[in-house]
Chain A
Amino acid sequence: DGGITQSPKYLFRKEGQNVTLSCEQNLNHDAMYWYRQDPGQGLRLIYYSQIVNDFQKGDIAEGYSVSREKKESFPLTVTSAQKNPTAFYLCASSMGGFSAEAFFGQGTRLTVV
């Protein structure tokens, strides 16, 4: 089945540690995105990538990093520089741009302990 897969579903991190969230898609989509969701708030864009080996900062990129070495994969690293990393992280993909619908993964809930 085609889709977008995020792992792990739940992640616990100690303060001061970096952690990487995985996102894989087999939809052959060019564009991939990372969003952060906090309770009572909408989705805020962290990073996006329109093509392989290229990515752009979103509205809240500070404390995060990404790579896009393969079309299928767009991992997100939450670094120790992120002041408040506890949140629900959603990865999405689309055919390109945002005139096309976005397909979301199941999400990763990150908790800093």
Chain B
Amino acid sequence: GQQVMQIPQYQHVQEGEDFTTYCNSSTTLSNIQWYKQRPGGHPVFLIQLVKSGEVKKQKRLTFQFGEAKKNSSLHITATQTTDVGTYFCAGAPRPSGSARQLTFGSGTQLTVLP
């Protein structure tokens, strides 16, 4: 079955440093979504990428979808303490439309040291 690998599992950064998490799928994806889960909270949708090579930005966050639609990354510039949490990618293989096929990565837990 489809597997979505996410690295690193943990990342500690000093406030102001950059952070990147990577997501790799064993199969070609129709789209990929990113979620953030604060400590003790629930996942909150951040963004969805659909097109090959797509790049989207949300303030200090930059999301990329690979040309082959098998990998994705989330980059945070100049981290702040509010960025603390676990970031998950979630991929749906082609063809899309089946809820069963959305597979979450294991997440990257980000700690920002003040």
Contacts and interface: CB of A to CB of B under 8 A. Distances in A.
A53 B40 CA distance: 32
Interface stretch (A14-22, A38-46, A69-77, A78-86): A38-46
Interface residues on B, range: 20 to 34
Given A56-B99, A59-B100, 20 more contacts: A40-B9, A41-B106, A42-B6, A42-B103, A42-B107, A43-B43, A43-B88, A50-B99, A90-B43, A97-B96, A98-B31, A98-B92, A98-B98, A98-B102, A99-B31, A99-B92, A101-B48, A102-B35, A106-B42, A107-B42
30 contacts: A31-B99, A40-B9, A42-B4, A42-B88, A42-B104, A43-B90, A44-B104, A45-B99, A56-B99, A58-B100, A59-B100, A90-B42, A94-B99, A97-B96, A97-B97, A97-B98, A97-B99, A98-B96, A98-B97, A98-B99, A99-B30, A99-B96, A101-B33, A102-B35, A104-B42, A104-B43, A104-B44, A105-B42, A107-B41, A107-B42
B85 interface: no
Contacts of A94: 99
A4 to B, nearest CB: 9
B23 to A, nearest CB: 11
B106 A42 contact: yes
Interface string B2-36: 00101001000000000000000000001101010
Nearest to B48: A101
Given A42-B6, A101-B48, A48 B43 contact: no
Interface string A91-113: 00010011101111111000000
A35 B103 CA distance: 11
A18 B52 CA distance: 46
B34 to A, nearest CB: 10
Contacts of B6: 42
Interface string A23-43: 000000001010100001111
B89 to A, nearest CB: 9
